[in-house]
Structure 1
Amino acid sequence: MISHQYQITNVLPARARLGEGPIWSATEKVLYWVDIYNHRVNKFNSVTGQNLYFDVGDVVGSIAIAGENRLIMAQRNGLTYLNTETGEVEPIISVEADLPENRFNDGKCDSQGRFWFGSMCPGKPQGSLYRYDPDGSLHRMETGLTIANGLGWSPDDKTFYLTDSAQKQIYAYKFEPSTGNISDRQVFVDLTTESFYPDGLAIDQQGNIWSAMWDGWCVICFNPKGEEIWRINLPVQRPTSCTFGGENLDILYITSASVGLSEEEIQKSFYSGDIFSVSTAMTGLSTYTFSPMKLVV
């Protein structure tokens, strides 16, 4: 592991309960992120420091850009659209309504404009991974997950990564961009001997995977072989996810949570729920959007 000194900046004292799902909009030059249990989708301008939020009425696990002034959201048990001008929420499709213990969690779009999102049920392996295509079709891609989390694609689009936080593992699959199929699951990173849990992740142009470590006070960077190469130590116990943003996609934005911490833990982790940024020597991948125009035929 190479030791690096990173400058950590607290860019937004949000005090979120469960800050998550950050995505960078290159068009708007803003960071979107969610506060899951407060039912909020946030829009943060890092230049002005202004943070606007929309109350979307229920749990929101993840978001992706879905055109001008529109986001697609994975909420408690289905997909919805959010109009970021009016705040209107439009239902799309109900999923897993028959599993009341489940809720949807992390999600992202692939290079072909398809939205991938996973469900979770702490303590039970009844979560699944889904792919929602721009033509309106829904595909169950993986089952038997406990907490479906951090996902993403390698720069060459040949590998898909998926985290099961409860199992403390990050998996790697073979990925076919044209069909959206995944296969040949392998354990990419095994953290079962650690006291913390892998959460949301981001991938840079070199193919390194940056994974936020719940209860680990850090973000760990793994190279494409799954070896730890860097570690960013943070002033919060529960970092939750990260994404690259900024003009050159070289700023790593990190969300965090305060939920479930005792008063003593809050004192040790006073800035829990805030948003942090780290300038890196790496460049992140562009954020893909949900768009039928990107679908390969």
Structure 2
Amino acid sequence: MNQPSSQNVLNARARLGECPVWDADRQKLFWVDVYNYRVHEFDPATGKDRFFELDAPTSAIVLAKNGRILVALGNRIALLDLETGDVTTLHQVNFPYSNTRFNDGKCDAQGRFWIGSVSEEPQQAELYRYDPDGSLHVMETGLTISNGLGWSLDGSTFYLTDSAPHLIYAYDFDAEAGTIRDRRVLVDLSQEGVEPDGLAIDSVGNLWSALWNGWCVACFSPTGEELQRIKLPVQCPTSVAFGGAELTELYITSASVGLSQKEIQQGFYAGDVFRCAMNVSGRLIYSF
């Protein structure tokens, strides 16, 4: 594969930029700054970025109907109205362990919101499924930093990242029932020490994963074989999303949180948003 080069498209200097979501109708990129409690709306055509101030760590978003976005806020799932900025809480979770909050999430083809949590202690995080009828279901336990997730092209395989042990898992997925089973390790980066973070699936079924502490985004085949890496000028890329009119642009968020002054000097653009022109396209994402 040819090596794409990255372009810095937004000097955001986010603390923890995360969860980029491409809105094909608006041709805009939505993303969050977790610890600044913000949902951002970036317009690549104008370079303008506006944001909505929320009241809790803002870890994940998915598109919803009627000009709204579904947001994971600390221990709540809420709707953000993009016209008014109003936030309506839909569900509040009493996590089984303290010092736990929601983390990354995505919708499946049936419009169900899959959302993981992150815990300070090992194996105290979980994966949930929030359905359009308002019900919440625990789908996996024993995780630590439930992160990037997605589905294979045929919908038969579910991918889930646990960043702390440096693993990407694959599961069998039953689309009708909305269930997962038979967890196995697809990608193991524990020997390298980098942490897989958010991911996206392209139009040929490969997984693109942001590698925290890896200065890059990596591409893996559906069988877990590493195919290539895109080098970045930041130490901690966090997540990826395909966007643009033809879905051939890869948007990448990044973080500055936790970096020393020396590390920030080495990666001066930490927290910014980047874009790579790709030779493969992505897929339209699902909404809630």
TM-score in terms of structure 2 length: 0.98
In the other structure, the counterpart of 2:181 is: 183
Name 2:248's counterpart in structure 1: 250
- CA deviation string 1:114-152 (max 9, x = no partner): 000000113321100000111111111000100000000
Q: Deviations over 1:83-132 (max 9, x none)?
A: 11111111111113553300110000000000000001133211000001
Question: In structure 1, what is the equivalent of residue 151 of structure 2?
Answer: 153
Matching of residues 72-111 of structure 1 within 5 Å: 72-97=70-95, 99-111=97-109
Tell me the residue number matched to 2:165: 167
Aligned twin of 2:283 = 285
Alignment-derived partner of residue 221 in structure 2: 223
Structure 1 residue 74: Cα displacement:
1.1
1:205 matched to 2:237:
no
> Which of 45, 48, 58 is the matching residue for 1:47?
45
Residue 176 (structure 1) shift: 1.1
Q: Distance in 1 between matches of 2:95 and 2:210?
A: 29
Query: What is the number of residues matched between the two proteins?
Result: 288
- Give ranges in structure 2 of 5+ residues lacking alignment: none
> CA separation in 2, counterparts of 1:28 and 1:108?
19
Query: Is the 1:173–1:182 Cα contact (8 Å) retained in structure 2?
Result: yes
RMSD of aligned alpha carbons: 0.9
- Distance in 2, matches of 1:167 and 1:98, equals 21
* Residue from 272, 275, 282 that aligns with 2:273: 275
Letter matched to residue 214 of structure 2 = G
**Preserved CA contact (<8 Å) 2:163 2:195:** yes
What is the TM-score when the length of structure 1 is the normalising length?
0.95
Using the aligned pairs only, state the percent identity.
55
Give unpaired runs (5+ residues) of structure 1: 291-297
Match of 1:266, SS state, is helix
- Superposed CA deviations along residues 229-274 of structure 1, whole A, max 9, x for unmatched, are 0100000000000010000011000000000000000000000000
Give 3-state SS (helix, strand or coil) of 1:93's partner. strand
- Alignment-derived partner of residue 13 in structure 2: 15
Secondary structure at 1:16's aligned position in 2?
coil
Distance 1:162 1:19 in 2: 20
1:5 Cα deviation after fit = 2.5
Give the conservation status (yes or no) of the 8 Å contact 1:66–1:289.
yes
Partner of 1:115: 113
Q: Distance in 2 between matches of 1:16 and 1:222?
A: 27
In structure 2, what is the Cα distance between the partners aligned to 1:252 and 1:91? 31
Aligned-partner Cα distance in 2 for 1:100–1:90: 24
